[in-house]
Chains A and B, each alone.
Chain A
Amino acid sequence: MISEIEFIAKLKDPKTKENAFRELIKQYKEKLYWHIRKIVISHDDADDVLQNTFIKIFKNIQNFNQESKLYSWMYRIATNESITFINKRAKERNIDIEEVYKELAGSLESDDYFSGDEIQLILQKAIASLPKKQKLVFNMKYFEEMKYEEMSEILKTSVGALKASYFHAVKKIEQFIKTKVD
């Protein structure tokens, strides 16, 4: 089993870069895809963002200074790419980000790549209604079951603030579901 430091050295070495990068994609494509998909919602958009994320990783691996773990760095790039994508969409259409999410969640019912039941649909709509940070924290904690310490490294936010964000997110989701079910 090759260590992370050795693997990064292979990614930086022009002779071994391509093979190492192929290995990197193999290891992280699914994890990063699902992380991105939960932020951008549609499959086509997630596909675009995933490809851009890996291209950015490939181009910037030389600048990776190993202050954080490789996967934290990649998650950070994926998160930023996803947020930039949504912001761009809002700017192009001259609407608020909240409005973009409302539309994306609204289109889930007719989405070929969404097979959730009614409760799952309501949950996705509830998540879409959350503020940006709470949305990220809820997805990472609840679905990806990440530890607060890991999330803190990716989102560059204190553990205390993340715990508070998660608690507020859960409260809002509970409230949203109550109004929809009652």
Chain B
Amino acid sequence: MKKNLKNSIEFIYKKAGRNLYFSFPPNYFEDLDNAIFSKITTSKLSKKTGFKTPKSYFSDVENKILEKISKEQHQPKVINFKRRIIKLIPYLVAASIALFITFNSLIYREKKSITFDSLSKNDIELWFDSNTLNSSDIVTVIGDDFLEMNDFSFSKFKNENLENYLYNIDNQLFLDEKD
């Protein structure tokens, strides 16, 4: 009698407090409606796709794959020209941008630092050789006041005075100046 009681469901409930510790995944009841709907709908459909393969396809494909792999293994790695060019494009673009920036900054710096003092004698001579100057160019730069200057005008000197000067001049002075 005691043994019967121990095996009864009442005894289990008594010990476990009616809690059998069963659980279920979260959202189980929320998903259940959709799962039932899907089962009912798909139960009317065929499980066959209707797709076929050529005869002995699966026995042939194995060798085809292995053949392809061994071919690829024995082939040297060749990157075709187009792919190589495409791979190079980003580097070329980066290099040209870097060159552009470098040259631009060099030119800009040079432009900034050019002064009359920095010009060499050769530069000036070269410039004179390659450019023809006329009086109007000079007038543009230094003005036309000098045209009216008559410091060296001989009209002011009288012939007698000139003769006097030449007669009285000490030749030794010229010789000294030359030394």
A90–B45 CA distance with the chains assembled, in angstroms: 30
A58 and B69 contact, CB distance less than 8 A: yes
B47 and A114 contact, CB distance less than 8 A: no
B68 and A119 contact, CB distance less than 8 A: no
Interface of A is mostly: helix
Residues of B within 8 A of A21 (CB): 66, 69
Residues of B within 8 A of A121 (CB): 50
B65 and A54 contact, CB distance less than 8 A: yes
A62 at the interface (CB under 8 A from B): no
A173 at the interface (CB under 8 A from B): yes
Contact of A43 among B42, B48, B51, B66 (CB under 8 A): B51
> How big is chain A's contact interface, by range?
35 or more
Known contacts A29-B61, A55-B65; is-contact A117 B50 (Cβ 8 Å): yes
Contact of A51 among B38, B51, B64 (CB under 8 A): B64
Known contacts A58-B69, A113-B54; is-contact A50 B49 (Cβ 8 Å): no
A170 at the interface (CB under 8 A from B): yes
Q: Which of A2-37 contact B (CB under 8 A)?
A: 21-22, 25-26, 29-30, 33-34, 37
Known contacts A22-B62, A26-B62; is-contact A167 B50 (Cβ 8 Å): no
